[in-house]
Each structure stands twice: as structure tokens, then as C-alpha cells.
Amino acid sequence: MPKGYGWVYSPKPTKLTKYEKEEIKRGVTQYIESTTNLKEKVSRIEIKAGRVYLYHLVEQFYTEGAEFIKPLIAGKYAEFPLGRITFYDTKGDKCTADWQRHSGQWITLYEGNLENCIKFMDQEGCTWFCH
């Protein structure tokens, strides 16, 4: 095996109860409402498997006869993942801010607590998340 290659340990996200999901969703919504860039971009928040997915709507322009893979919302918007926050504990002290590449692969851009992940997504990581 060439030098530098090998197994990389990747911890699994924490399992969240229904109550914890509601609390996290409320907290994430409050943090996003206090940001400058993300509050305009995030249209929906979804929590699945220890991760908070942030979605945004993109207006689709097309010529007559164009067909889309996904059905359009209100006849003109498509929904895409903006980013996600992965929880490694239920308190939000260990989180990562992740961005999805065009290939569908997620990459971690920042590690910290929940508040700092959202701040990163809004400020330093805005070239990734606020495109």
C-alpha cells in the first residue's frame, strides 16, 4: 500500500430523540435568524440521522419543452441542499459544518460547536454556503 493511504476513522453522528430534534431545530432556526447571509438563503431545515440539513430554493429558468429530474415547487423552484451540520453529541458542543460537492459527496469544512458552525457558514464559509 502506498505511503499516506489507509483507513480513516470517521465517528458516527449521535442518535437524537424526538425531543432533542425539536430543541435542535428551534436553536438552529434562532441562530439562522440572527445571521446576515443564511437567513435569506435557507428555506427549510430538516433533521435526519443526527444531521441538520439546510435547503434553499433556486428559481429555474427554462425554455419551452425542458424537462426537470425533480418536480418543481410552485411551478418554478427547485430545492437543493445548502449544507448540513453533523452532531457528534446531543448538546451541540461537537459539530461539523459540511458542504455537498457536485458529485454528492459531503466534505467537512469546519469543526466546532453548533453556534460556531453556523457563524462559519454565514461568514468565513460564505463562499461555499452563500453562493
Domain borders along the chain are: 36-129
pTM of the complete model: 0.80
pLDDT digits (tens, 9 = 90+) for 17-72: 999 999 999 999 999 999 888 888 898 999 998 999 999 887 776 656 666 556 66
The single residue listed with the C-alpha cell 459531503 is 106
Task: List pLDDT tens digits, range 3-18.
Answer: 545 454 567 898 999 9
